[in-house]
Amino acid sequence: MKVYERGGWVFYISEDFDYGYERDKVGKWMYYSKDINFMSEICRKAVNDKLVAQAKHSTEKRVAWQAKHSNKSDGVAHFYLNCDDMETHKKILSFFMDNNLIDKPKNGRFNNNNISFKLDAQTKTGQYGKDFRPEIKLCNFIDLDSGEWLT
């Protein structure tokens, strides 16, 4: 695995697993945290386990800069795949649940945690916050009330 830091990000790229990202289809599931060390661990694990060929997370400097210049104080980790790869979506969401990356209340419901997948094209066109309209969400895979897989 190749690991390097650039532009406020730490990248983890497989050297022996070619996922085949397509420019118009590639995007990411995201995990937000203040714990940079934990994000490093999960990015390494996702790439080592060949769930994704590329992952990245914010550096401490980027998180500090964001906290100073905006209301965001969490870092973020990205796990990349093509939007039409349903099998990998399920693998990544299972990885998220197995590693407690999606908050699940004691009642077992994900109602307030309907995380979403974001295309890189949406990022490049400045779709953030209220301007972001996700097409793929956790609810496409899991019943948010029961926590059961839909397919």
Identify the three-state secondary structure at position 39: helix
Q: Compute the distance between CA of residue 56 and CA of residue 80 in angstroms, rounded to an integer.
A: 9
b/e per residue, 92-130, with b = 16+ CB within 10 A? bbebbeeeebbeeeeeeebeeeebbbbbbebeeeeeeee
Is residue 3 very low, low, confident or very high in pLDDT (cuts 50, 70, 90)?
Answer: very high
- DSSP-derived letter for residue 139 is G
Write the DSSP string, 120-138: HHHHHTT--GGG---SEEG
Domains of the chain and CATH, by start: 2-140 (3.30.760)
Region for 129 from its dihedrals, namely left if φ exceeds 0, alpha if ψ lies in -120 to 50, beta otherwise: left
Angle at 128 between CA 122 and CA 133, to 5 degrees: 60
At 74-104, the pLDDT tens digits run: 889 999 999 999 999 999 999 998 998 887 7
Q: Confirm if 123 and 85 have CB atoms less than 8 A apart.
A: no
pTM above 0.85, yes or no: yes
- Residue found by looking up tokens 């039409």 in the block: 84
- C-beta separation of 141 from 90 below 8 A: yes
Which element (helix H / strand E) includes 61?
Answer: helix 60-69
Which tens digit of pLDDT belongs to each residue from 68-82?
767 666 889 999 999
